[in-house]
Amino acid sequence: MPRVSAGHLAARREQILDGARACFSRFGYEGATVRRLEEATGLSRGAIFHHFRDKDSLFLELAHQDARRMAQVVAEQGMVQVMRDVLADAATGGTGISWLGTRLEVSRRLRTDEKFRADWEQQAGQLTDAIRGRLERQREAGVVRPDVPVGVLTRYLELAFEGLVSHLAMGLPADDLRAVLDVVENSVRK
């Protein structure tokens, strides 16, 4: 039997994650059946579950991957940029980064699934730490307002993000949300 290169395995794993992200975003966790995952990835269940133990571990990997990507964007550009990216993705119907669909499912499962909550808590602080670190660096540079503790500003940005996610999930109008995000950004600046 021929050996498969590490590069091929990594590419296949990314193919699975990309297809699964689209599937979970479109159908939600419960609606992303194995058949739909096969269709979305273009691979058999054997190929999918060669890389991931089960649907839950596949979704958890997507959620962790998104949290790492969001933390990277926060570190480089700030939390409001993550919100802008989510808003832009929602405007295109989820054809971009698709953080919205994954984030909605994370929120739902945190509320309803104890095992998921326990697994998620291991990395849940990653985004919070990135926000806090960025705010601290920006405060030292004289960009962030000095009259509010960084912890409060961190929580404020997290709540603004969760509010944006909820707003988009409800299908409410998004026409003025860019201006709202400008207000959020300006409210933390000096």
Question: DSSP label at 10?
Answer: H
* Full residue range of the structural domain in which residue 149 is found: 54-188
Spatial neighbors of 102 by CB under 8 A, at least 6 apart, are: 21, 24, 25, 62, 63, 66
Q: Is the same domain home to 104 and 15?
A: no
pLDDT(93) > 70: no
Helix, strand, coil tally for the chain in percent (to 5) = 75, 0, 20
Q: Is the same domain home to 25 and 66?
A: no
pLDDT of residue 144: 97
Q: Is the same domain home to 160 and 78?
A: yes
> How far from 93 is each of 5, 7, 35, CA to CA, in Å?
35, 31, 23
Q: Is the same domain home to 32 and 58?
A: no
Comparing CA positions, the residue from 80, 100, 81 lying closest to residue 90 is 100
In angstroms, the CA 158 to CA 161 distance is 5
Please say whether the beta carbons of 121 and 113 come within 8 A: no
pLDDT(3) > 90: no
Cα 184 to chain centroid, rounded = 20
Q: Is the same domain home to 180 and 96?
A: yes
User: What pLDDT, in 10s, does the model give residues 17-73?
Assistant: 999 998 988 888 899 999 999 999 999 999 999 999 999 999 989 988 888 899 999
Q: Is the same domain home to 124 and 42?
A: no
Q: Is the same domain home to 87 and 41?
A: no
pLDDT of residue 104: 84
Three-class SS state of 122: coil
Q: Is the same domain home to 62 and 14?
A: no
Domain CATH code at residue 11: 1.10.10.60
Task: Tell me how crowded residue 132 is: count the other CB atoms within 10 A of its CB.
Answer: 18
Three-class SS state of 189: strand
pLDDT of residue 94: 58
Total structural domains within the chain: 2
- Which tokens belong to 86? 């989510």
> How far from 102 is each of 40, 97, 126, 133, CA to CA, in Å?
15, 10, 16, 24
Q: Is the same domain home to 6 and 98?
A: no
In angstroms, the CA 61 to CA 128 distance is 19
Question: DSSP label at 3?
Answer: P
Per cent of the chain over pLDDT 70 is 94
Domain CATH code at residue 78: 1.10.357.10
Indicate the residue type of 167: H
